[in-house]
Amino acid sequence: MPVHNAEIAAMLDQAAELLEIRGDNPFRVRAYRRAARVVEGLPRSVTSLLAAGEKLSALPGIGDDLAGKIAGIAASGKFDLLEGLKRELPGELAEIAALPGLGPKRVKLLHGELGVRSLEDLRRAIRQGKLRSLRGFGPIMERKLQGALAKPVAEKRFRLTVAEVEAEALVNHLRGAAGVGHVVVAGSFRRRRDSVGDLDILVTARDGAAIGARLAAYENVATVAARGPTRTTVVLRSGLQVDLRVVPEASYGAALMYFTGSKAHNIALRNMAIERGWKLNEYGLFEGKRRIAGTTEAEIYRKLGLPEIPPELREDRGEIAAARKKQLPALVTLSDIRGDLHVHSTWSDGTVAIAEMAAAARARGYSYMAITDHSRRLTVAHGLDPGRLGRQIDEIDRLNDQLKGFTVLKGSEVDILADGTLDLPDRILDRLDVVVAAVHYKFDLPRAAQTERLIRAMDNRHVSILAHPTGRLLGERDAYDVDIERVVAAAGERGCYLEINAEPDRLDLDDVHARAAKEMGVKLAISTDAHSVAALDYMRLGVDQARRGWLEPGDVLNTRPLGDLKKRLKR
């Protein structure tokens, strides 16, 4: 049973947490955390890297020691150091440290002085009034902890589209304040991560307190968590946390960079500043007391000898080295997209007729669109059998006769059956321009069977694109257990394309696997899976994830003009 990168990262994180509570060298703790982030962001699994004879110690932040430990975890699924730490300290201490206001130091005190080993122990200690006797604890902390223990809030991430609605309203509200310059959403929102944990809003103004007051007075604010002259933190009714930072105009670039992150990217840049005898913080780049850059991000990057790095790449996953060598990718943009290759109509479960969808696609500047309605097995979606699909093909032919300068491609989103065969016979698939193959049931097959299923589907030369390859639904359903690297490799061998499904709850493939595909020379299609006209606009979210995956226009099938596209769809 191969150990996933995410599992390795979780073990490294947990070890870091317990090491920190134990009071170990903070830099050792940081090394474990950094290694966790590096493993998490690897485009290939540790298992396959090792199988290929690659040295983990070549990865940034991973030396001989951690390389050995990570290899050990990959081989056995066990982490001796972590097991030992758990024998020494109760594992639940990590959960206690996650409570607001509690960190390693206070948890160590709780454990050492009061013998707290569990959340229940902590509740009891509070009930018995023991907490406030400890140094660093007082009545306010006691009350807050009581609240947090009473109704624990699961860590929640929000879909980009949900965050966008909240952000737009809030930005408009803040723009209404007097003396406001820039108002911009930074953080993972600006880096276009597939979901966000909070909103980081940067404002330039002279009077930070006034802007903070304006945020606190926003109608959707549930609680104000912190309030200072330059920083204010609130929690909205939706549960979304908002961090506001206010800086002077001259610090705009530095603050935007700081607030955009990622943290690891910032640390790397700050280290570059240190190497040059400078200091980089959210107010600017400084030589001694003198600010030598800070008004724009570009200016700071330039001083550090780098071209400006697009926010989507700022994850400390090699972008700084690439920038240094002037080898940053020229990322795909929405305007490079010439068509949508996965679209539904009223023939199955779409809400709009083909002609109307075509007009909407055309209005978006596209020159083609594939209609890919569901196949017969998906009865709830009125999936098409060969007879109905034949009639749909005829309808599209008639429609194309009337259209000038736009082409509706004939397609199907054909179900991949449990054994990897397709839900429609070859004789009808033969009449189509685009076949998008997808899994819609039996998500729980064993890994090997699921992997074989997808590969067998791609064995069929009619299959052009493998849709939503991992089947994940953000916040609802994990990816099915599949060896995605083998699937990517198999797609490459067969000349099959992989989809980045742009639906906001799918975004599948994700950024990391899209990049893996690129590195393995496999091309991708960015498709909306639209069931309505409005959903065609999700294309931009798919492009965002493609950019996070370092994709350039040449890596994306639907940047090709129609003639070229048709040639590439032939296998």
CB 88 within 8 A of CB 22: yes
**Under rule CB under 7 A, residue 266 binds DNA:** yes
CB 24 within 8 A of CB 41: no
* H or E stretch at 411: strand 407-415
CB of 246 to DNA, least distance (A): 8
Closer to DNA by CB, 269 or 512: give it: 269
CB of 44 to DNA, least distance (A): 18
Return the residues of window 316-345 that contact DNA according to CB under 7 A.
none
**Under rule CB under 7 A, residue 31 binds DNA:** yes
Stretch that binds DNA, among 61-69, 347-355, 464-472, 489-497 (CB under 7 A): 61-69
Phi-psi region of 550 (alpha: psi -120 to 50; beta: other; left: phi over 0): left
CA distances from 121 to 31, 117, 140, 151, 320 (A): 31, 6, 19, 16, 46
Residue of the chain from 71, 141, 170, 439 that contacts DNA (CB under 7 A)? 141
Q: What DSSP assignment string belongs to 501-518? A: E--TTT-BS-HHHHHHHH
**Under rule CB under 7 A, residue 566 binds DNA:** no
Phi–psi pair at 430, nearest 5 degrees: -60, -25
CA distances from 381 to 183, 350, 440 (A): 43, 9, 11
Amino acid identity, position 514? A
Q: How many residues bind DNA (CB under 7 A)?
A: 61
Tell me the two tokens of residue 338. Answer: 């010439």
CB 260 within 8 A of CB 190: yes
**Under rule CB under 7 A, residue 281 binds DNA:** yes
CB of 522 to DNA, least distance (A): 29
**Under rule CB under 7 A, residue 66 binds DNA:** yes
Tell me the two tokens of residue 411. Answer: 């397609």
Distance CA 241, CA 480 (A): 30
CB of 60 to DNA, least distance (A): 5
Closer to DNA by CB, 11 or 361: give it: 11
Distance CA 265, CA 465 (A): 34
**Under rule CB under 7 A, residue 60 binds DNA:** yes
Grouping H, G, I as helix, E, B as strand and the rest as coil, residue 422 is strand
Residue of the chain from 14, 195, 241, 470 that contacts DNA (CB under 7 A)? 241
Residue given tokens 């926010």 in the structure block:
311
**Under rule CB under 7 A, residue 159 binds DNA:** no
**Under rule CB under 7 A, residue 54 binds DNA:** no
**Under rule CB under 7 A, residue 135 binds DNA:** yes
CA distances from 304 to 64, 190, 254, 323 (A): 30, 22, 13, 11
Closer to DNA by CB, 263 or 391: give it: 263
Stretch that binds DNA, among 60-68, 324-332, 346-354, 376-384 (CB under 7 A): 60-68
CA distances from 238 to 39, 194, 219 (A): 32, 18, 12
Stretch that binds DNA, among 140-148, 164-172, 400-408, 492-500 (CB under 7 A): 140-148
Residue of the chain from 30, 377, 382, 456 that contacts DNA (CB under 7 A)? 30
Closer to DNA by CB, 26 or 365: give it: 26
**Under rule CB under 7 A, residue 137 binds DNA:** yes
Residue of the chain from 11, 94, 107, 409 that contacts DNA (CB under 7 A)? 107
Closer to DNA by CB, 65 or 249: give it: 65
**Under rule CB under 7 A, residue 196 binds DNA:** no
Residue of the chain from 22, 173, 182, 227 that contacts DNA (CB under 7 A)? 227
**Under rule CB under 7 A, residue 102 binds DNA:** yes
Instruction: Tell me the HSE value of 157 on the side-chain side, using a 13 A CA sphere.
Output: 14
**Under rule CB under 7 A, residue 222 binds DNA:** no
**Under rule CB under 7 A, residue 106 binds DNA:** yes
**Under rule CB under 7 A, residue 563 binds DNA:** no
**Under rule CB under 7 A, residue 223 binds DNA:** no
Which residues, at least 6 apart from 561, have a Cβ–Cβ distance to it below 8 Å?
338, 367
Closer to DNA by CB, 104 or 549: give it: 104
Residue of the chain from 279, 447, 456, 461 that contacts DNA (CB under 7 A)? 279
Grouping H, G, I as helix, E, B as strand and the rest as coil, residue 445 is coil
Return residues touching DNA (CB under 7 A).
25, 27-28, 30-32, 35, 57, 60-67, 100-107, 135-142, 144, 187, 198, 200, 208, 226-233, 241, 243, 263, 266-267, 270-271, 273-275, 277, 279-283
